[in-house]
Structure formats: C-alpha cells, structure tokens
Amino acid sequence: MNLAVIGTGYVGLVSGVCFTLGGNHVICVDKDEEKIARLGQMKSPIYEPGIEALIEMNLKEGRLKFSSDLRESVRLSDIVILAVGTPSLPNGEADLQYIESAAADIGRAMEGYKIIMTKSTVPVGTNEKIRQIIAAHTGYPFDIVSAPEFLREGSAIQDTLHPDRVIIGLDNPALEPVMRELHQGFTENIVVTDIRSAEMIKYASNAFLATKISFINEIANICEKVGADVTEVAEGMGLDRRIGSSFLQAGIGYGGSCFPKDTKALIQIAGNVDYEFKLLKSVVEVNQGQRFMILAKLHESIGSLQGATIGIWGLAFKPNTDDVRESPAREIIEALVKEGAHVKVYDPIAADNFRKQYDHPLIHWCAVPEEAGTGSDAVCLLTDWAVFKDIDLHLLAAGMRKPILIDGRNVYSKEQIEGTGLEYYSVGRPRMGGLSGLSPSVAGAV
C-alpha cells in the first residue's frame, strides 16, 4: 500500500518507518522543511534507539521518502495517516489546531478516494470533526479510521512492531480487511470497534497507567511513615495477575509528552459532558506533589539549601530519551535555584534539550556523573539511566562534602549502599545511614 504520514514527530516518524517494514511505500510529510531535509540525510529529529538505522535502510531501498509537499504526498497515497501533535491548551484541553489545519489541507489535496487514519491522540468526537472538515474541502469520497498509538519513547520501534494490541475504530466494515492487512505481523490482538470507543481507549489506557503510578507513589509515602518497603509491597501486589507488576515503580512521578497531557485532557473531556472525574483529578494532584518529595528530603537531611551545592543526576522524564517535556526535573531544579542552591547537573543525553528551555547562573553543567557529586552536599537521582547504576558509590561518597544520596527512582539495592558511608534516602523504603537505617518518621518517634 502507499501511505502518507502527516507529521514527523514521535508517533508519525516511528509509525511511518515501521509501516515500510510490511512492504508498504511511505512518505513522511512535515511542514518544517529543515526537518525534512535533515531526515533526507538520515538524521532523526528525535533520539530513539534504532530509528536512524531503519531510516537509512528504508531510504536506500526506496520504500521511505520525506517530503514537505502535502498535496503531492496525499495524491500518491491510498491511506493518509494523521500524526500531528495535540498539545495541551492552558485549561488542559487538547489543542486541535494542527489536526484541523491538516484535515483541511488533506481535503484540498484529494483527487480521489482516500482512507484517513488518525494516530494522533484526540478527544472523543474529534474524528467526526475531521470528517466534517475534510468533507468541506473535497467532493471525493473518503473513510475515517481511528487507530490510536501506544508507543513508549525509548522502545518506540519495538512497541509499534510488536504492540500488546492494535485498536481500530471504524464505521465502514469494508475497511476491516484493509486495516488487518496493514497491521499484519504486528500482533494477533486486533480490536475492531467504533470510532468513539477507539478514541476513548487511548485516553482510558493512559489514565489508568498514570493512576497505577500515583497509587504506588502514595503507597510509598505511607510505607515511609510505617517503616515498610514499597518495592517489596509492589512485588507482592504485582504477582496477583489481576493487578500485574508493571507501572508499580514508585518514584518522583510521571512526566513526558503523554501522561500529563492526556490525563488533563480526559478530565476536560469528562467536564465537557458535566462529569467530574474525581479519581483522575487526584492522580494528577498526587503526581504534581510527588516531585517535591526530593526537596522535603533535602531539607530534612541538610536543612537550609541557601548556598548548598546539590548534584542532579538525570533530566529526561525517563531513561533512553532526550525528551524533557513535563520532566519533574524542571520544577525540582527551579525550586533549588530559588532557594539559593548551586546545582551541578548531569544527564547523558538530555542536557542540551533541557538547557535550551531552562538555564540559570547557579547551574553548572557537568560532563560526567561523578562531577555532579564532587564537593556537593547531596546528590539527587531523578532519572533511572543505566549509567547511574554502575557508579562507584564509595568514590562518590568520598568526594562529596556531605555524603547524602537521594534516589528518586529506587535504583540502588540495600547491598549497594551498605558500607559506602552514604546517608541514603529513596522513595517508600527505609532510610539507610544517618539514624541507624530507620525511616525518618520511625527514627523521629524513637
């Protein structure tokens, strides 16, 4: 089949590249000519393991093209995939301006029947709107399919090629075989449903995963107070197959381009039909507060942060990506700077992206993780990059002014910390070092 993918962000680029592997011909389209030129030279605008090799292979084999000519790309395709961004408006609602203008452009470009497949995350009812906009700009027939994307950054290619399920929302049953053929080899689990349910499945899935994270984070906060260990609790819970072990890792909360945006959008979607989604509102609130746990632990261990030096490990919202969107690191560092701390920052990949958005004279950018620890009063681990797991913690402690490690992602085991001389705080686990290894509140009560 011939496909045009409109939008070369995460979803568009990864889907486009992956669909070539089924033998399809794909043109990835973007208005940004510079981005298209760079992609033509096999340079990916996103950091995603494996993507550049796939771009190179498919460009060379002639199955993949990049273009800023939407009209020509639509004309040459059987299926047009909408993968433009739907960022948050200030009130949390999804901003549909890019969807709407792309739909109008597609309508104007059509010179025959097309299948329009929406991969962007869009509020329930948006595909109907897309249909109306296209129809207002063309007399040619077309069908609409909602095919939400569930890829995770850092494992996007694997997630696209081998998803847990593919969701297809359609209202013309004749499209089902076409969609099954397009996704052949991806998974056996293809759920064909109506368009509105498909739109809802995406939001409900992301909201549920975010709920799991906020739930375990609150359990972690309680564990600290009662002297339990959240990693043990999560393991015990996760073995119940009805619960499952994934997304039960306590930490400083979720970030990224999806969970924060989609949870707020679903609250708005519900609000628009006079339904208050109380549970999800709490999930968002808990997540927002969880990052400040790092600051509370700094205050508890150091006291005033004025003039203190704090090392930061990790800026990306999660490992294996350079994405810093909605990363908890931003607010943590802003708060440190506001309190007058010197901040020594290290991230293996995301530092440049972060620095473009936020810099301050009190921030020192480090070339290696150890540098962030040297002479510092504390080091805070915010992203669980693999590189931090292998750091020599004895050397770290020896080089610090005060050997305090605050692990916001529960990366280190008890055995790794023991004997290092570090005072170690993590999330929902007993404190080590300092007051004889007791959790702060338990120690306070002794």
Quick one: tokens of 28? Answer: 């990835």
CA dihedral 8, 10, 12, 16 (to 10 degrees): 100
Q: What's the CA gap between 283 and 208, in Å, rounded?
A: 10
Q: What's the CA gap between 28 and 46, in Å, rounded?
A: 14
Ligand-binding site membership of 153 (annotated) = yes
Ligand-binding site membership of 232 (annotated) = no
Bridge partners (DSSP) of residue 115 are 79, 143
Residue nearest to ligand UDX (CB): 258
Annotated catalytic residues are 258
Quick one: tokens of 306? Answer: 């004025």
Ligand-binding site membership of 105 (annotated) = no
Three-state SS at 146? strand
- Which residues of 22-88 form beta strands (DSSP E)? 25-29, 64-67, 79-82
- State the pairing for strand pair 64-67/79-82: unpaired
- If one asks whether residue 408 binds ligand UDX (CB under 6 A), the answer comes out as no
Kindly report the length of the chain: 446
Q: Identify the residue among 4, 106, 130, 213 touching ligand UDX (CB under 6 A).
A: 213
Looking only at residues 244 through 273 of this chain, which bind ligand UDX when binding is defined by CB under 6 A?
247-249, 251, 254-256, 258-259
Ligand-binding site membership of 152 (annotated) = yes
Q: Is 216 left (phi over 0), alpha (psi -120 to 50) or beta?
A: alpha
Q: How far is the CB of 160 from ligand UDX (least distance, A)?
A: 10
- If one asks whether residue 402 binds ligand UDX (CB under 6 A), the answer comes out as no
- If one asks whether residue 344 binds ligand UDX (CB under 6 A), the answer comes out as no
Q: How far is the CB of 315 from ligand UDX (least distance, A)?
A: 12
Ligand-binding site membership of 202 (annotated) = yes
Ligand-binding site membership of 247 (annotated) = yes
- If one asks whether residue 318 binds ligand UDX (CB under 6 A), the answer comes out as yes
Contact letters for ligand UDX, residues 130-169 (x by CB under 6 A)? -------------------xxxxx----------------
Answer positive or negative: Cα dihedral of 312, 318, 320, 324.
negative
Nearer to ligand UDX, 224 or 377 (CB): 224
Q: Identify the residue among 203, 317, 346, 425 touching ligand UDX (CB under 6 A).
A: 317
Q: How far is the CB of 32 from ligand UDX (least distance, A)?
A: 22
- If one asks whether residue 381 binds ligand UDX (CB under 6 A), the answer comes out as no
How many chain residues bind ligand UDX (CB under 6 A)? 19
Nearer to ligand UDX, 248 or 422 (CB): 248
Q: Quick one: which of 419, 424, 388 has its CA closest to 301?
A: 424
Q: What's the CA gap between 269 and 285, in Å, rounded?
A: 18
CB 83 within 8 A of CB 12: yes
- If one asks whether residue 186 binds ligand UDX (CB under 6 A), the answer comes out as no
Ligand-binding site membership of 444 (annotated) = no
Nearer to ligand UDX, 328 or 403 (CB): 328
Bridge partners (DSSP) of residue 64 are 26
Nearer to ligand UDX, 138 or 245 (CB): 245
Quick one: tokens of 255? Answer: 């970030």
Q: How far is the CB of 252 from ligand UDX (least distance, A)?
A: 7
Nearer to ligand UDX, 159 or 371 (CB): 159
The CA angle 203-253-119, to the nearest 5 degrees, is: 25
Contacting residues for 58 by C-beta, under 8 A, at least 6 apart: 17, 20, 21, 26, 64
Ligand-binding site membership of 35 (annotated) = yes
Rule CB under 6 A: which residues touch ligand UDX? 149-153, 206, 209, 213, 247-249, 251, 254-256, 258-259, 317-318
Annotated binding site for NAD(+): 30, 35, 86, 121, 153, 261, 325
Annotated binding site: 30, 35, 86, 121, 150-153, 202, 247-251, 255, 261, 318, 325
